[in-house]
Structure 1
Amino acid sequence: MTAQTDFQTLLNNQLGQLTALEHLIDEEKAVLQKNSPDALVDISEKKNQLLVDIQELDQHFRQSPEFTAAKKAGQFADTLTAIEQTLLRCKEKNHVNGMVIQQSQLAVERMKTELLQQRNKSSVTYDSKGKTSGGLSSLGIKA
């Protein structure tokens, strides 16, 4: 096998890894929408391992002067384009998932505030960040 064939095989592996990552991100979104924390932990572990594998392969490419020269010569252009497009889709989908997580956290914070206010309206206080908390600290009682 030539170095070119080896690099093409490695690039195909990386494209496969990114495609698998894209599918995991899609699964992650579905799990986020279902509010299934156990499944989310499992997907997060798989996602982290896949990202480590992708990073290791990237490092291999960066350290190879032969690959850099072949890339500058225009070799592997189709595969590299497919990799870049898949990576962009992964970034966009991951951003959407981040927004879903952020919205979920805001909803939980609103629910917490509402529950605290309902528990005892007179004991609700605000901390230095403007978040509410309940307790007897407003009465000067320390536990």
Structure 2
Amino acid sequence: MAALKGLVEFQLKNATELLELLGKEQVAIAQRISKEIEALAIQKNTLITQLQTTDERIGRHPEVESLTTDPELQTLVEQIRELIMECQQRNELNGEALQRAQLSFHKLNNLMKQSQGKVGMTYTAKGQTNNVSTLGTNIKA
């Protein structure tokens, strides 16, 4: 049982670290610090992998049933579940913020292309800019 409790406590530690990391990611996204966002994404993936691996180890543990019968373990498992739910919500919000930042970057990039005196600019079906130098002058009938 001591080994199982150690795994559950390790899982709690990783979930807590992930939540803290997501808070740092939120700040980095708001401040648009791309190097930090990238570094945090790598750390986030490492923590998620650790959580998954530990979860598998807990699932294979011979005393796994005690997670639902031992009050102390039940409390730890509930804390982990709450942390993971909060992590999922925060990660979703961070993803939405990243999408907004990327859209903002594309709009700024398009404005800069326009201001550089491009002859013609159209948009692809995906909303990306497409510079066209002929803009209808080389029509072959």
TM-score higher than 0.5 here? yes
- The reply to whether residue 87 of structure 1 matches residue 84 of structure 2 is yes
Q: What is the DSSP-based 3-state SS (H/G/I as helix, E as strand, rest coil) of the residue aligned with 1:66?
A: coil
Spell out, residue by residue over 1:18-69, the C-alpha distance to the aligned partner (whole angstroms, 9 max, x if none). Answer: 10111111111111111111222221221111111111101111223421x2
**1:90, distance to aligned residue in structure 2 (A):** 0.7
Distance in 1 of aligned mates of 2:122 and 2:43: 41
**1:122, distance to aligned residue in structure 2 (A):** 4.2
Distance in 2 of aligned mates of 1:128 and 1:42: 32
Check 1:81–1:104 CA distance in 2 against 1; reply closer, same or farther (3 A cut): same
Q: TM-score, normalised by structure 1?
A: 0.83
- The reply to whether residue 24 of structure 1 matches residue 21 of structure 2 is yes
Q: What is the DSSP-based 3-state SS (H/G/I as helix, E as strand, rest coil) of the residue aligned with 1:129?
A: coil
**1:73, distance to aligned residue in structure 2 (A):** 3.1
Distance in 1 of aligned mates of 2:39 and 2:128: 32
Paired residues of 1:28 and 1:43 also in contact (CA < 8 A) = yes
- The reply to whether residue 110 of structure 1 matches residue 117 of structure 2 is no
Greater helix content: 1
Q: Which consecutive residues of structure 1, in runs of 5 or more, have no partner in the other structure?
A: none
**1:121, distance to aligned residue in structure 2 (A):** 6.0
- The reply to whether residue 71 of structure 1 matches residue 47 of structure 2 is no
**What is the aligned-residue RMSD (CA, Å)?**
2.1
Q: 1:124 is matched with which residue: 114, 121, 124?
A: 121
Distance in 2 of aligned mates of 1:36 and 1:100: 13
Q: Which consecutive residues of structure 2, in runs of 5 or more, have no partner in the other structure?
A: none
Aligned length: 137
- Report what 2:58 is aligned to: 61
Check 1:73–1:94 CA distance in 2 against 1; reply closer, same or farther (3 A cut): same
Distance in 1 of aligned mates of 2:122 and 2:25: 36
Paired residues of 1:22 and 1:86 also in contact (CA < 8 A) = yes
Paired residues of 1:116 and 1:133 also in contact (CA < 8 A) = no
Q: TM-score, normalised by structure 2?
A: 0.84
